Each structure stands twice: as structure tokens, then as C-alpha cells.
Amino acid sequence: MKKLKWIICLIAMILMAAANDMPVLAADQINVSADAAILMDAKTGQVLYSKNPFKKRAPASTTKVITALLAIETGTLTDKVTISRKAARTEGSSMYLKTGEVFTLSDLLYGALLNSGNDACVAIAEQVVGSVKNFAVLMNMKALALGALNTHFVNPNGLPNQDHYTCAYDLALFARQALANSTFSNIVSTKDRVIDLPAPKGERRLKNTNKLLWRYLWADGVKTGTTSAAGPCLISSASKGNRQLLAVVLRSGDRWKDSIKMFEYGFNNFEYKQVSVTGEKFTSIMVTYGKQKEVPALYSKDLGVLIPAGGKRGLEQRVSLQPELTAPVSKGQVLGSVSYYTNNRYVGKVNLLAGQDVYKLGFFDRFFHWLRAKIKNIFG
């Protein structure tokens, strides 16, 4: 047990370090009414605006983002789910499930994300791992894996509980991961859905509670949440051109207006710039005693960052690179890195890798190499 605690602590420390390197661009040009808020670029993970991003808050039904993500990742959408008495009797917002009814897992996901059905979430939890309690364990493991350090779940739907909390930044992490899943993104962008049921039950009509889908042209998700403990909350996303932004507002005076204000700020004040391409050469480094005199240093990955639009502030790169190497050098060996900053704030990093193997010269080759260097020093 002690060993397990040490492992958990070590993971938490690593994630803390990662959080400290969170790409952040400061913004004081806008104000929102929400008690906590964040605006994040879905592609790069850069934070363009934040207000109390790590403050622990009740999340209400925004919880259902990670519930749905886990169901999609671990379940089969066509599976038949028989509704239990416990699921049917769940309080709060509802898909109006009845004991013994049968739905597909896909139907329940629409019910949870559009109608905000608390009952659908219980049915999902029972289908995936057998119980709400076990599903909460899975939720917390997923949250930790995504780097969420201020989150703890006890249920799949967000019903109030003092031990059920998260923060704006963690919710943005969940939404970013979920939006990368096409099934999830298709569901949360749906305004209305009709679920056909066997006769004589007819059909079940669902309508998305996210009014931003009607109020903002570029909106394409994600999830509302409202309880007395949490206040009006919203995780939302919007896409314009090749960019997608996501916003989180918790206990907002006007969640629609706050979200639109952040989206307009993000789209109008930042532009995307590709700063590296996998395998592209950055520079070459001299290699001592190598069969080749130098080795190319290549970008390890694609990296794009958001920079202030209109060239208001330049993009700065800070290079950490060995000036010279000694053979042998292995292909793929890390030679250094390039970190990118805008407005003196970190926005991304990419490693530089050796583009080829460089083998070490034999003894006599090294001797003549040394001798030539000595002669050159003597005679210029």
C-alpha cells in the first residue's frame, strides 16, 4: 500500500511539473461575469484567457463530458442497455427513462449530452463497469491521466456532492480530449435528435440544452451544467476556418454572452503559425571523430502555436543545443530542443533529433585526424 501511495505521489508531481509549463498567453482586454473561466485553443492547448482557472468548483452537468468520453472509449455504441430501477429513479434533469426499457449505448449518450439526462448517465455507468461507484473510480483515473490535478468525481452526472469537484482548466482538458473524438464531437454539435422506440412507445425527442448552437454561428459544442451549488456553467466550442477554440465558464452571470465574448477575443486577436514540421532540418552539428563531419538536427514533431495577430508581438525561439558532438551518434538521439515564447510566455517546445547514424573513426583515422589538426595549428 505504501508503494502504491508513493507511485501516486510521483505521478502527481510529474503532472504538477507539466502544469507549470502550461502554455499561457495573458489577456487583460476582456472581462467575463463568470466566477471561473478559461479559453483554450483545441489544437495547440494554449490558454488564451483565464480567470481563476484552478479554483475548485462544483461542475454540475459539465461532468457528463468525461462520462461520455469514457463510454465511447470503453463501450460499444450498438450495445443494448436495459434500464435499471436505480437509473430510472435518478433525480434531476432527465431523459425520462423507465425501468426495463432498452436503449443502445449510443441513444443514452445522446440523452446524456443533449437532454442532460442524469438517468442516462447512471445507465451508462452501470453498462460500462457495473455500478456508479466503480465508474467514478474510472473517471478519476481518466482525469489523472489527462493531467487534471484539481478534480475528484463521485458520480457520472454532476449531482451535487461536496466531494465532487473540478476546475475550469481541468474541464478544458477533458473537452479538448473529447472533441478529438469524432463520435463525441458529432453528438455535441447536434441540436435535435429523435430516438425511435418499439411500438406502442413511439419515439423519444431530445433537444440540446446548449443554446449557443443557435446563438453563435461558429458554435459546435459542448455541454451545459446548472445546479444551485454550481450556478450556470457551460463548456463550449466554436470553429472558424481551420481553428477550434473551447471555452469554460463556471457560475456565470450570462454564460452565453461570456462564451461569445471569449470566442470573439480568441478568433480576432490570435493567428495560427506552424513553427516545425516532423523531419525538417533545423541545423547541423559538428561531430568530432565521426565518419561524417556533421549530423543534421531534425524537428521531432509538428508544432503549431498561436501568436498575437497582426504582428503585434513577435515569436521568440530559445534554442538549447550541443555545439559539438563526439562520435558515435545514433539516429534519433536527442541533441537539444527549441522552445517558443510569445510575449515572454512559453507556448510550446519541440526536441531536435539526430537525422542519421554517425559512426566513430577507427584508431588510425583518428590519429591522422589529430595529426592534421596539430599541423594546421602550427602552420595556420
Residues with catalytic function: 61, 64, 116
Q: How many CA atoms lie within 13 A of 239 on its CB side?
A: 11
CA triple 187-189-191, angle to 5 deg = 95
Grid cell for residue 142: 481518466
Q: Report d(CA 187, CA 298) in Å as an integer.
A: 40
80 exposed, middle or buried (CB, 10 Å; 0-12, 13-18, 19+)? Answer: exposed
CA triple 185-191-195, angle to 5 deg = 95
Classify the C-alpha dihedral 88-93-96-101 as positive or negative.
negative
Q: Which residues contact 68 (CB under 8 A, 6 or more apart)?
A: 109, 112, 113, 124, 178, 184, 187
Write the Ramachandran bin of 158: left for phi over 0, alpha for psi from -120 to 50, otherwise beta. Answer: left
Q: Report d(CA 164, CA 170) in Å as an integer.
A: 13
Q: What phi and psi, each to the nearest 5 degrees, are found at residue 121?
A: -65, -40
Q: Report d(CA 153, CA 143) in Å as an integer.
A: 9
Contact 285, 322 (CB under 8 A): yes
